[in-house]
């Protein structure tokens, strides 16, 4: 049994507009934005707009909506950044590596021979995140 959803988490605050984010995409059910400590150039996060703590308590509807958005973001990353591939990551509960307790999917552009940066490593400059978000938005609307 997973722990209870706490609406004071950072991503819930972003969804409520209480904290800023470099938004990439939004639809009725999902929201996508740049990870503030990217593991690769263009690293984005996809979240459901409704509360879910982990993959364990999420509904099939939340998961399918997120995966449809993950695919859109992955395609846009391939185009926008000339990625050779995409890695998905998704962590659940502290034991599973989760730090922010609102369900999220990491979508990571990859290049042949380029290793990922550490998880929750270094904070990226806001202008770099803004520029990468703009590239993704342009690819999504192309
Ligand atoms: P996880 O819960 O998947 O282990 O890690 C949470 C992820 O959220 C990390 O990749 C971290 O860089 C990212 N993150 C943490 N705080 C913020 C924030 O305030 N804004 C954004 N955009 N990303 C964040």
Domain parsing of the chain, residue ranges:
10-141
Contact 36, 104 (CB under 8 A): no
pLDDT per residue rounded down to tens, the chain (142 residues): 557 999 999 999 999 999 999 999 999 999 999 999 999 999 999 999 999 999 999 999 999 999 999 999 999 999 999 999 999 999 999 999 999 999 999 999 999 999 999 998 899 999 999 999 999 999 999 9
The CATH architecture of the domain made up of 10-141 is 2-Layer Sandwich (3.30)
Q: What is the pTM of this model?
A: 0.97
Work out the angle at residue 139's Cα, subtended by the Cα atoms of residues 133 and 142, and round it to the nearest 5 degrees.
140
Best probe residue, ligand 1, of 39, 53, 100 (max atoms within 8 Å of C-beta): 100
Q: Is the CB of 98 under 6 A from ligand 1?
A: yes
Task: Give me ligand 1 centre to Cα 46, in Å.
Answer: 11
Q: Is the CB of 96 under 6 A from ligand 1?
A: no
What is the predicted pLDDT for the residue at 3? 78
Q: Which of 112, 130, 104, 24 is nearest to 72 (CA)?
A: 24
What is the predicted pLDDT for the residue at 2? 53
Task: Give me ligand 1 centre to Cα 27, in Å.
Answer: 21
Task: Give me ligand 1 centre to Cα 36, in Å.
Answer: 6
Q: Please give the number of the atom of ligand 1 that sits closest to the Cα of 119.
A: 10
H or E stretch including 45?
strand 44-48
């Amino acid at each position: 049994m997973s722990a209870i959803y706490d609406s004071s988490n950072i991503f819930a605050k972003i969804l409520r507009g209480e904290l800023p984010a470099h938004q990439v995409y939004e639809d009725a059910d999902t929201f996508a934005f740049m990870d503030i400590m990217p593991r690769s150039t263009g690293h984005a996060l996809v979240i459901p707009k409704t509360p879910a703590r982990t993959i364990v308590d999420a509904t099939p509807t939340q998961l399918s909506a997120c995966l449809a958005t993950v695919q859109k973001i992955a395609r846009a990353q391939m185009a926008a950044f000339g990625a050779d591939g995409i890695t998905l990551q998704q962590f659940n509960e502290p034991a599973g590596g989760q730090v922010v307790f609102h369900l999220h999917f990491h979508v990571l552009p990859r290049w042949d021979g380029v290793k990922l940066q550490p998880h929750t490593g270094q904070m990226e400059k806001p202008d770099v995140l803004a520029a990468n978000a703009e590239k993704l938005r342009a690819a999504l609307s192309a």
